């Protein structure tokens, strides 16, 4: 990495320019040439999206993988009711011990939600998006949901608005969504075949009537696809979430991907089923397994040949606060907020975002400089590496403090984010736990290296013994540029026959860590 780039970065900050792939004409996702692959979404590339689309995604952590390093979101739990039943869902209230969709610690009124937004935006300058994602369905609670958005629009007009829905009632509310300038809507679509849908949804409640079985799934699917088309026609970005359920819809999700792409969806997010029995879901109690990490990645790869995929999802609570992968909700309970003297000033947020956009240019320049060194290189070698990061696109976390590793695939094309892997921190109040170290190393067995800001002698020795190179010489530097620089050195060693490249795979890895996310 260049000296100038290094000197513009510290462990506490440093952001890069948004680099979303190009679309030649936006109506959902366009395609490049005859490949059929969508050119919008979260992958890193030279951005020539229309300016209005860049403005929508560049600081939305869920719609841009790169943005999630720098920007925070919050969900306000104003929508308790739901109009469908999913076999993978069990909504819980007053629950602080689980981290998954449908879980909240407090249900809020629209007025409470608006006050909470001001409190969070005042304390967390990274906060760029307010969403309603439950704990039920926002559009089964339209009055509460839209009242919340109206208040936020009035009190903090610079914050983006976002909602997540099952799509059953979406077509009835697109006009209101457009009027309130809700530019991002996520729809959970798990099937387009009602026979498959009947295995996922016991019932729906539509037009004052309960439907069950194939009939219910058929109505739901038709309404969901209609909703995607209507959003696209209004220029509202639509992300589709799909829960991968082995043996039920795992093979079918490729067809779902094609269906939503053809209707203009902007991004597709395939998520693993969370099916721990203690959560009390129908699937969990039946013993329905979740997919392995490899199964999720393989499906994402299959779909990505047609459309860009979201790979950085954390399957957040319905009251999540903070960067993806962290939860600061306990800092902003209503009891604490009511005691706060909130004087909202949007200038710190604007100043932070200006800093981010300026620093992104530095990061992109460093990345392009390292990529230039790979130009013309001919190699089929691809490796996975793990990164310990606290955000800002930097290698800025101690190995022992990491609660997750971000996994990147390195090749002559550059660095590509592929997934995150949650772990339990190895350091426990000044000492390390051997069992936690074993789990952490086991989580990255298929990686050739792990990038950290610091690492102790014991974990370093154990990683080397496991064939994983601990890399700490890029502490507090950019992830993309640093991993590419390391990969160039790796290829040089292979070409000079100083080392032999070996494939690292871990076929035994199961979904336990994914389910803990």
Question: Which among 306, 333, 360 is the end of a domain?
Answer: 333
Cβ atoms within 10 A of the Cβ of 297, count? 18
pLDDT of residue 233: 94
Q: Would residue 361 count as lying in a domain?
A: no
pLDDT of residue 39: 37
- Is residue 299 over pLDDT 70? yes
Q: Provide the pLDDT confidence category of residue 22 given band limits of 50, 70 and 90.
A: very low
Q: How far is CA 107 from CA 57, 134, 327, 330, in A?
A: 29, 9, 17, 14
Q: Would residue 32 count as lying in a domain?
A: no
Q: Provide the pLDDT confidence category of residue 49 given band limits of 50, 70 and 90.
A: low
- Is residue 485 over pLDDT 60? yes
Looking at the fold, whether 386 and 325 belong to one and the same domain comes out as no
Average pLDDT over residues 109-119: 94
Beta bridge partners of 385: 408, 449
Percent of the chain with pLDDT strictly greater than 90: 42
pLDDT of residue 19: 28
Looking at the fold, whether 285 and 406 belong to one and the same domain comes out as no
pLDDT of residue 505: 76
How far apart (Å, rounded) are the C-alpha atoms in residues 6 and 106?
44
- Is residue 29 over pLDDT 60? no
Question: Which among 333, 354, 388 is the end of a domain?
Answer: 333
Q: Would residue 358 count as lying in a domain?
A: no
pLDDT of residue 431: 63
Looking at the fold, whether 315 and 425 belong to one and the same domain comes out as no
pLDDT of residue 132: 93
The residue segments making up the domain with residue 458 are 375-515
- pLDDT tens string 375-390: 767 788 999 999 999 8
pLDDT of residue 322: 74
Looking at the fold, whether 417 and 303 belong to one and the same domain comes out as no
For residues 398 and 297, the model is more confident at 398
For residues 109 and 303, the model is more confident at 109
Q: What is the CATH number of the domain that holds 439?
A: 3.30.420.130
Average pLDDT over residues 332-342: 87
Q: Would residue 166 count as lying in a domain?
A: yes
Q: Would residue 26 count as lying in a domain?
A: no
Q: Would residue 508 count as lying in a domain?
A: yes
Looking at the fold, whether 325 and 400 belong to one and the same domain comes out as no
Average pLDDT over residues 451-474: 93
Average pLDDT over residues 455-477: 92
pLDDT of residue 98: 52
Dihedral over Cα of 260, 262, 265, 269: its sign? positive
- Is residue 35 over pLDDT 80? no
Name the 3-class secondary structure at 235: coil
Query: Mind giving me the DSSP string for 102-122?
Result: TB-S----HHHHHHHHHHHHH
Q: Please state the pTM of the whole predicted model.
A: 0.75
Average pLDDT over residues 346-359: 85
Query: Mind giving me the DSSP string for 305-339?
Result: TTS-B--------TT-EESTT---GGGG-HHHHHT
- pLDDT tens string 76-107: 999 999 999 999 887 655 545 456 566 677 89
- Is residue 197 over pLDDT 90? yes
Q: What is the CATH number of the domain that holds 240?
A: 3.20.20.70
Average pLDDT over residues 167-187: 95
Average pLDDT over residues 109-117: 94
Average pLDDT over residues 408-429: 84
Q: Would residue 243 count as lying in a domain?
A: yes
Looking at the fold, whether 162 and 53 belong to one and the same domain comes out as yes
Question: Which among 333, 367, 400 is the end of a domain?
Answer: 333
Looking at the fold, whether 98 and 234 belong to one and the same domain comes out as yes
Query: Into how many domains does the chain fold?
Result: 2
- For the ranges 72-76, 106-110, 188-192, 429-433, the lowest mean pLDDT is seen at 429-433
pLDDT of residue 72: 83
Beta bridge partners of 216: none
pLDDT of residue 85: 93
Looking at the fold, whether 301 and 441 belong to one and the same domain comes out as no
Looking at the fold, whether 50 and 167 belong to one and the same domain comes out as yes
How far apart (Å, rounded) are the C-alpha atoms in residues 163 and 168?
14
- Is residue 43 over pLDDT 60? no
pLDDT of residue 504: 85
pLDDT, averaged across the chain = 82
Q: Would residue 20 count as lying in a domain?
A: no
Average pLDDT over residues 131-152: 94
Chain position carrying tokens 């230039």: 372
Q: What is the DSSP letter of 21?
A: P
Average pLDDT over residues 344-365: 84
For residues 286 and 14, the model is more confident at 286
């Amino acid at each position: 990495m260049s000296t100038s780039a290094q000197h513009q970065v510290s462990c506490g900050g440093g952001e890069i320019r948004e680099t979303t792939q190009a679309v030649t004409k936006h109506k959902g996702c366009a395609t490049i040439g005859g490949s059929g692959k969508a050119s919008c979404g979260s992958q890193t590339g030279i951005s020539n999206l229309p300016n209005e689309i860049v403005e929508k995604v560049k600081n939305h952590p869920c719609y841009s993988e790169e943005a999630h390093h720098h920007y925070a979101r919050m969900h306000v739990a104003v929508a308790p009711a739901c109009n469908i039943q999913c076999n993978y869902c069990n909504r819980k209230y007053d629950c602080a011990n689980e981290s998954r969709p449908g879980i909240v610690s407090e249900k809020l009124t629209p007025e409470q939600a608006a006050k909470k937004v001001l409190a969070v935006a005042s304390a967390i300058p990274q906060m760029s998006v307010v969403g309603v994602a439950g704990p039920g369905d926002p559009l089964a609670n339209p009055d509460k949901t839209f009242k919340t958005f109206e208040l936020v629009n009035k009190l903090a007009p610079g914050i983006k608005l976002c909602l997540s829905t099952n799509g059953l009632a979406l077509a009835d509310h697109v006009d209101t969504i457009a009027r309130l300038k809700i530019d991002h809507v996520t729809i959970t679509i798990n099937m387009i075949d009602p026979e498959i849908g009947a295995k996922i949804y016991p019932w729906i409640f539509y037009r004052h009537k309960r439907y069950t079985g194939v009939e219910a799934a058929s109505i739901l699917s038709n309404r969901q696809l209609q909703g995607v088309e209507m959003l696209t026609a209004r220029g509202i970005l639509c992300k589709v979430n799909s829960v991968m359920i082995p043996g039920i819809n795992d093979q079918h999700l490729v067809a779902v991907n094609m269906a939503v792409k053809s209707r203009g969806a902007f991004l597709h997010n395939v998520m693993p089923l969370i099916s721990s029995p203690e959560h009390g879901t129908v699937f969990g109690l039946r013993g329905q397994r979740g997919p392995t990490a490899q199964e999720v990645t393989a499906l994402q790869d299959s779909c990505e040949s047609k459309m860009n995929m979201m790979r950085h999802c954390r399957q957040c609570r319905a009251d999540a606060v903070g960067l993806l992968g962290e939860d600061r909700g306990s800092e902003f309970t209503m009891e604490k907020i009511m005691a706060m003297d909130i004087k909202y000033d949007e200038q710190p947020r604007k100043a932070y975002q200006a800093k981010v956009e300026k620093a992104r240019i530095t990061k992109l320049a460093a990345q392009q400089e390292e990529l230039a060194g790979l130009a013309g290189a001919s190699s089929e070698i691809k490796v996975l590496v793990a990164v310990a990061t606290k955000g800002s696109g930097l290698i800025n976390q101690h190995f022992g403090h990491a609660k997750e590793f971000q996994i990147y695939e390195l090749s002559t094309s550059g660095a590509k984010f592929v997934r995150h892997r949650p772990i339990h921190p190895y350091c426990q109040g000044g000492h390390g736990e051997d069992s936690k170290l074993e789990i952490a190393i086991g989580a990255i067995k298929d990686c050739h290296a792990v990038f950290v800001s610091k690492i102790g002698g014991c974990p370093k020795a154990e990683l080397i013994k496991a064939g994983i190179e601990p890399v700490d010489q890029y502490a507090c530097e950019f992830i993309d540029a640093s991993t590419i620089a390391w990969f160039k050195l790796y290829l040089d060693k292979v070409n000079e026959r100083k080392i032999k490249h070996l494939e690292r795979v871990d076929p035994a890895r199961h979904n336990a860590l994914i389910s803990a996310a």
